[in-house]
Chains A and B, each alone.
Chain A
Amino acid sequence: MIELKNVYKTFKQKDNEVQALKDINLKVEKGDIFGVIGFSGAGKSTLIRLVNLLERPTKGEVIVSGESLLALNSKQLRKAKKQIGMVFQHFYLLESKNVFDNIAIPLILQKRSKGEIRKRVMELLEFVGLSDKEKAYPNELSGGQKQRVGIARALATNPSVLLCDEATSALDPQTTMSILRLLKRINEEYNITVMIITHEMAVIQEICNKVAVMEQGEIIEQGNVLEVFSNPAHPTTQSFVSTIVQHDLPESMKSKYKSIPGSRIAKLEFFGKEVGQPFLYEIVTQFEVKPGILFANTVEIQDNLISTMTVRLTGQDDQIIRALSYLKEQGIQVEEVAE
């Protein structure tokens, strides 16, 4: 649906060049909710602006719905953009127009008939839950309502792709959740592919099925959300994941338990079908290793569960080692907390 191939973007400033994007390769499949996460300045906003050519890449290819956008002339490009809706962090609604006219604008640009516009706008207002705000002006709306108008406007021309540039970053957590649920509904009911840029892990956790992590203009990790979250390779990814999947023991706890002889501390992580299995019981009966739970947590990501647990194991040392390798055989990720 969306494909970026070997994309580079360099911004020329007065005396120096800033390389905003380096060798970006990514593929968003139809029906995906693809999240791109990174700290500010990582280049993610530049990345999403490439998809509808608000920014032109210095090098590389941008393909949307099988069409190479860079090969199009300006007229063809304008037509292609009607297939790509975009939602902005700061909404960018016309302050001088009411809600109805704001949503109608993309249709007016396409010179649709009055009746057709009226029908479509009312339908969209209903969908985003703002039927009663038809005549309100943007300054009379809350942030969440403005974003709903922004989303309705982006959907007006029935696009196949919706780009969200930090669509929830200006909103409070509760409003964020309601906007995310709306985006998910758009994805499911209209079968629109969604690409979303964010610095909030909660956004990825809540709605994305795929994720790319960016740092300094590069994609450092990408793939299925569950895979990336359950096994983050890069330190930046780990730090993002740690904001929702708690892994670390409090310092005081670590020092208290580490020094006890004849025991080891291990971090266990399991997801999918392993969650809920009686592993601890097994290691007690099979290896006579006594587990003490120091920390445990379970998070839900896209209907999948990830459980993490830090346990102190006491018993005979060779038995503890055997118990740990038994756990590994069961598909549990085991990591010993270093002495």
Chain B
Amino acid sequence: MFDTFITTDLFIQAIVETLYMVGWSLLIGTLIGGPLGILLVVTRKGGVLENRLLYNILNPIINIIRSLPFIILLIAIIPFTRFVVQTTIGTEAAIVPLIIYIAPYIARLVENSILEVNPGILEAAESMGATPFQVIWYFLLPEAFGSLILSITTAAIGLLGATAMAGTVGGGGVGSLALTYGYQRFDTFVMVITVVVLIILVQVIQSLGTFLARKVRRR
């Protein structure tokens, strides 16, 4: 029907690869970035576990990693990637830099979400004699939950964009499809279809995030 190089199977495989990369790096990135974000909040001046040293180490490291564009980070950490997954090409090899890219981003987003919690809530928690862990678990996280969901949504969309560059290390996914077929082989159909698929994916992720956030907020 269309004059194109790709098959439906190839295309579905690319979407699966994209979701695979986004899914895993989002999951592991959140497991790393979430606690880091919490640490940033509680160790800052006036926090429940104020620790200037830790904060002053964490904060700049996160800034440094965040200042690198993903395409540079991807190449710069190739030795590290080889160390972790024993290879530097393929989907797994793309996930390592994706995690390193997204974890500090998530840390920042989580930090901002938690900082939005009314400081009075902390005062109330403190007046009840809550331990620092209890303050985080029973007060900060539940109160920030809706905002946290939106933060993770933002991170997922950021990741989706980053996976497009994973093609450079043979990571696959729709971005790589657009690059190798659409751009290098002048296949306009692939290009258009890729753009449409990416737009739909972003819409779905954002709507899902907004829906869940509204549900937990109940306001």
Contacts and interface: CB of A to CB of B under 8 A. Distances in A.
A88 B124 CA distance: 8
Interface string A90-111: 1010111100000001101100
Given A109-B134, A109-B138, A137-B219, A92 B121 contact: yes
Interface stretch (A73-81, A172-180, A191-199, A280-288): A73-81
A92 B123 contact: yes
Q: Which secondary structure dominates where chain B touches chain A?
A: helix
A171 to B, nearest CB: 16
A94 B129 contact: no
B120 A92 contact: yes
B218 A52 contact: no
Nearest to A89: B120
Interface string B98-128: 0000000000000000000010110110111
Nearest to A101: B142
Q: In which size bucket is the chain B interface?
A: 20 to 34
A52 B127 contact: yes
B143 A95 contact: yes
Contacts of B185: none
B129 A105 contact: no
A84 interface: yes
Interface size range on A against B:
20 to 34
B130 interface: yes
A139 interface: yes
B150 to A, nearest CB: 14
A260 interface: no
Contacts of A139: 218-219
A92 B143 contact: no
Contact of B127 (A54, A90, A96, A108): A54
A90 B131 contact: no
B175 interface: no
A84 B216 contact: no
In the complex, which of the residues B120, B129, B139, B218 has the most CB atoms of chain A within 10 Å of its own CB atom? B129
Contacts of B130: 78, 109
A77 B130 CA distance: 10
A91 to B, nearest CB: 8
Nearest to B119: A92
A44 B219 CA distance: 34
Contacts, number: 60
A294 B120 CA distance: 50
B52 interface: no
A80 B127 CA distance: 10
A86 interface: yes
Greatest chain A CB density within 10 A among B123, B128, B142 is at B128
B120 A90 contact: yes
Given A90-B120, A139-B219, A96 B142 contact: yes
Contact of B142 (A52, A78, A88, A94): A94
Contacts of B142: 94, 96-97
Given A82-B129, A106-B128, A109-B130, A88 B120 contact: yes
Nearest to B134: A109
Contacts of B29: none
B24 interface: no
Nearest to B121: A92
A30 to B, nearest CB: 21
Given A95-B219, A96-B145, A109 B126 contact: no
Given A54-B123, A105-B138, A109-B138, A96 B216 contact: yes
Given A78-B131, A108-B138, A94 B121 contact: yes
Given A96-B146, A105-B138, A109-B130, 10 more contacts: A79-B129, A80-B129, A81-B127, A86-B127, A92-B121, A96-B143, A96-B216, A96-B218, A108-B138, A109-B138
Which 4 residue pairs are nearest across A and B when measured between Cβ atoms? A81-B129, A78-B129, A92-B120, A92-B124
Interface of A: 52, 54, 77-82, 84-86, 88, 90, 92, 94-97, 105-106, 108-109, 137, 139, 157, 163
Interface of B: 118, 120-121, 123-124, 126-131, 134, 138-139, 142-143, 145-146, 216-219
